[in-house]
Structure 1
């Protein structure tokens, strides 16, 4: 057999053909990078600044300061502050630990000091990086400075800064601070168990019964989303406080503390859990229940072997969402927590009460850990979820059962009564002239201009913030989602953008607000000018609620076939024309959902903006807290109800606009 002669020459490898990126793709990538830069500046940089601050420690280095005294017979020998302190035992070592803004008067080391004396003092420091203040003048050299007694009393020594774990060691060695971790986990776990159980029962009744008034119950269940988390705390005070209407129902227990926090947390987290669990129960396959009946399985066994397994991912997701909401909430424990410390309230106390920003950063990092863990586990659980419905599935339709429907109606009525009672109590409190002494009704509590909190201007600021957040946030979020979903290639950029877009959901509002102080309040930051303005409030609010809005936009965009882009490309039409004429009209319902979501949350948020507002940008939600702090509880309830009614009005406008636009932009769906 003749063999085929082989060519000893090695064939050169074929050239790698890389597809050229189109002009549209490059332009879209540029837009995506711009929004990514925004997220880095508005999220990553502030968090890094806060993390760095948590490792910054400060203490007074007494060896750095040296004194000389002249009582009229010449200057004394040079003596350091450390030597004086060692001789006179003036300050203990723990008293030398402070924050970066700490102050220590130089006169502390001279117990017999009198500003009327003729004594002169000399002071110098050895460390060129150190400083001391003479009134408001900073001195940062190593020269000797001479002062008469009257001026010497104005001198304050500044601490030396270093980096280390001392702040964390102090935190975990302080029982009162460490106990906040235990309290936060206890309240969060207990509230999660109660809320998810109640929400599951409510969702089960809505999906598995033929009871009446389902629409009414769904509407009532969503009410807590429209109010700030402080409002249920105020209602519980009127019900169970020291002068509460039904205080006897607590059998001698105090509403201020764990009981009040749990009841209020159940109220404001209930709709979040209900939405998730309702979605999980609504996609059940009727064939599984038919199989269970044919196998003569009892209703109880069917519930545990069919219903619960089918809804397990929804239950887990709802649990982590509720846990995250409770452990990061600030408003409710601030109003009704009493002496029961929680992590979010500790941040506020450290920053506002003690001006200890470093310890506030430490508590923020501690709070960030469980919040991020809950978020990560929730995302993992969702990634494991598989489709419950296939093309052969049969939607489950409940059958009438008078006894079961009556039980469901009674249960939903009790839950709805709990929700409505807190809202009605707040409205009643807002109208009563002086509880419990003068129960006549009036509008005096709505005269916010004579109350602490910013008056009616704060309400106007909240409207402005909500409108700007809804408008700017919707454009930024939808544009970013469009670029990341419709662009071809650029996988590293897309992956990085998706990571940045998901981060805000894991960041508590208090943590984000404090991080903004460290980053934007730095005079060296070129963006320092926006601190204390409405701009920083809008940036913070859009960033805080970015993730849910982004997921909503991505979900809507995934429903559109990529053939639209292919056709537009073949017709040589730029992407922005396709986006304006096709994508935006088709996705208009989701765009409106994003806008109303941002509006409502901007009206109700407290934790994200509590550190960022100024006298000119005070907000209604913050005014509720400030009025409550000042003892003006009834006006606080009135302002809370104004937020509620504003959100109800916004929802109605959203419903009206959605219906009208749907007729014009979604008619193709009915063909």
Structure 2
């Protein structure tokens, strides 16, 4: 009994001979820990150090923070960011909740269609939302000159949408955060106990009372999680404010201006640290909530049955159609901008914007660069992250080291992409490194990575490390620990168990990780905007450069290439997952 109990506690049961396999496993755990320290902790430490130095790299303590908060123009960016994030969170969560409620608690038709449409913004860089809004609500926008212009022609007061600034940023951020909140709330609303609603009906409770006493309490953790996700994403986003922000400065654009515009790296590091605080707080609160959250259903629970209500269904169907129509209108505006000759004067179709010959985007090379970087990130990142998760979850050696590695693996989720990119500048672009708390300078062997494809891949892997790690860790927890115990008892090396048992049984999670890393590497701007070189300009960076140069139509064309590529990858993922499930089902039938 003691042996079985210790197996489930994931602790060594009997003294093991320190053979080559055991030494190899311990070495890999230590190497993984060192890799996380070098790529996460040390760069962030360099960022903290630079935030406490002046332009001459002299230590000034907290003077940069005092300067920032005492400067009205700079401090205003912080208040702007808080305002944008707060308004975005409220509106996005409300819309996402109603949309998720419609797909889980009503009997409307077309739920699969509405789900796929809601996920469309996930495949586009955030700058595309701003570009789409410009073509809809800009000075020469479709709705500005069409709908609003028609109203003015029949006597209505002249209408100025005033897109650039607070309004444009908030609308862009709502589009950006809506699918994230929708996915969380859809899962939360999918679990409900029918017995609670039946008891409420027996007691004569009204629909409103059941909503506030049963539905909302049941999804409170998902609701809070969605709010923190929306707040963090909109607080740290760079793409949307860059396109439609105008003179409305936020912290993310301040970092960019301080580093790229003024070459003031110390103040850029200071703003980067400030940008991290809300993300860290949100991360801590979310982790606390996740620990408190219990199972929504017990073994005795009865699945929720949606009652018939035609008026309710009509209302929610109308709402879903309005949301999807707006998303189609936004994406349609981008498609139109990419394919028409000169918006809004010449609507003849053309392919010239996809040539990128005479614009600031350097032709199609950035797109091919993005394909290569994203593919390498997906393959290499998945292999590293999944194997690291395996060592943490399934190994029985160096428990304290594995615990620390687990903490470092989920830490990047609290670091905005701009902060990671800025930290990489300070860490990889210097010849020597100062060891923390010791003060000893050592040669930096990683300096040569700066300006290469490798640093772009590394930045993407670190930026999206945590979500992929959680996916891998969740999948590995579902596998019985007896596989490793039996293998060890039979003296089968752990790497054979990993390749022959763990990987085949975890293929759905591995495919999901690869898809996630590829899609996000194609769309990200913030993590790589400080790290690319002339030879390794990416598609998302080309959109930034084209927008700065006023080449909006080619920027829209490049965004369409990214969207099309990501949708194809998603389709390939769905087909691959379907084939894996068919094979798994066939194996189970043979076993029975």
TM-score with structure 2 setting the length: 0.91
Q: Does the aligned pair in 1 maintain the 2:354–2:554 contact within 8 Å?
A: yes
Q: What is aligned with 2:4?
A: none
Number of the residue aligned with 2:47 = 50
CA contact (8 A) 1:586 1:666 kept: no
Q: Please give the alpha-carbon distance, in whole angstroms, between the structure 2 residues aligned to 1:323 and 1:291.
A: 36
User: What corresponds to 1:168 in structure 2?
Assistant: 65
440, 457, 460: which is aligned to 2:368?
Answer: 460
Relative to total residues, which structure has the larger strand share, 1 or 2?
1
The equivalences for 1:164-563 within 5 A come to 164-247=61-144, 251-524=159-432, 525-563=444-482
* Residues 507 and 21 of structure 1, relative CA distance in 2, 3 Å threshold: farther
| CA displacement 1:75-107 (0-9 Å, x = unmatched) | xxxxxxxxxxxxxxxxxxxxxxxx23xxxxxxx
Deviations 1:32-57 (A, max 9, x none): 22222222111111111111001112
Q: Measure, in 1, the Cα distance between the counterparts of 2:268 and 2:288.
A: 30
Contact kept, 8 Å, 1:35 with 1:476, in 2: the verdict is no
Q: Is the 8 A contact 2:131 2:334 kept in 1?
A: yes
Residues 252 and 654 (structure 1), Cα distance of their counterparts in 2 relative to 1, 3 Å cut: same
Which residue in the other structure is 2:573 paired with?
654
SS of aligned partner of 1:449: coil
1:163 is paired with a residue of what secondary structure? Answer: coil
Is the CA contact (8 Å cut-off) linking 1:187 and 1:262 kept in structure 2? Answer: yes
Structure 1 contact 25–487 (Cα < 8 Å) conserved = no
Q: Residues of 2 paired with 1:36 and 1:275: CA distance?
A: 32
Name whichever of 433-442 and 201-210 sits farther off.
433-442
Flag as ranges the 4+ runs of structure 1 deviating above 4 A. 21-26, 668-671
Distance in 2 of aligned mates of 1:543 and 1:662: 30
Of 564, 580, 583, the match for 2:502: 583
Shift of 1:570: 2.6
Distance 1:44 1:379 in 2: 20
Bigger relative CO (Cα 8 Å, ≥ 6 apart)? 2
Task: Note closer, same or farther for the CA distance 1:29–1:322 as it changes in structure 2 (3 Å cut).
Answer: farther
> Would the alpha carbon gap of residues 21 and 410 (structure 1) be closer, same or farther in structure 2, given more than 3 Å must change?
farther
Q: For residues 23 and 220 of structure 2, what CA distance do their matches in structure 1 show? A: 43
Deviation sequence 1:252-296 (CA, Å, 0-9, x none): 241001110111111111110011111111111111111111111
Partner-residue secondary structure (3-state), 1:400? coil
Given the alignment of the two structures, is residue 608 of structure 1 paired with residue 555 of structure 2, yes or no? Answer: no
Give the alignment's Cα RMSD to 1 decimal.
Answer: 1.6
* Matched ranges for 1:122-141 at <5 A: none
1:406–1:49 Cα change, 3 Å? same
Q: Is the 8 A contact 1:454 1:619 kept in 2?
A: no
> How far apart, in 2, do the equivalents of 1:512 and 1:185 lie?
21
Please state how far the C-alpha of 1:384 moved relative to its aligned partner. 1.0
CA distance in 2, matches of 1:511, 1:454: 27
Alpha carbons 1:56, 1:161 under 8 Å: kept: yes
User: Structure 1 residues 468-477 or 438-447, which shifts more?
Assistant: 438-447
Q: How many residues align?
A: 555
CA distance in 2, matches of 1:274, 1:667: 34
Q: Is the 8 A contact 1:509 1:607 kept in 2?
A: yes
Distance (Å, rounded) in 1 between the aligned partners of 2:23 and 2:107: 54
Deviation of 1:491 (Å) = 2.2
**Equivalence for 2:15:** 20
1:605–1:621 contact (8 Å) kept in structure 2: yes
- CA separation of 1:161 and 1:489: change in aligned 2, threshold 3 A: closer
Between the aligned partners of 1:202 and 1:668, the Cα distance in structure 2 is: 38
Cα distance change of structure 1 residues 243 and 31 upon mapping to structure 2, 3 Å threshold: same
For 1:88, the equivalent position in structure 2 comes to: none
Contact 2:43 2:423 in 1 (8 A): yes
Per-residue deviation, residues 414-437 of structure 1 (Å, max 9, x unmatched): 111111111111000111111122
- Check the 8 A contact 1:513/1:540 in 2, yes or no: yes
Gap change, CA 1:25 and 1:362, over 3 Å in 2 = same
CA–CA separation in structure 2 for the residues paired with 1:526 and 1:566: 39
Query: Gapped runs of 5+ residues in structure 2?
Result: 1-11, 149-157, 433-443
Deviation at 1:395, TM superposition (A): 1.4
Q: Residue by residue, what CA displacement relative to the aligned partner does 1:504-554 show, whole Å, maximum 9, x if unpaired? A: 000000011011111101023211111000000000000000000000011
Decide whether the 8 Å contact of 2:26 with 2:397 is kept in 1.
no
Provide the C-alpha distance between the structure 2 equivalents of 1:188 and 1:546, rounded to a whole number of angstroms.
24
SS at match of 1:56: coil
Q: What residue ranges of structure 1 are gaps of 5+ in the alignment?
A: 1-16, 58-98, 101-159
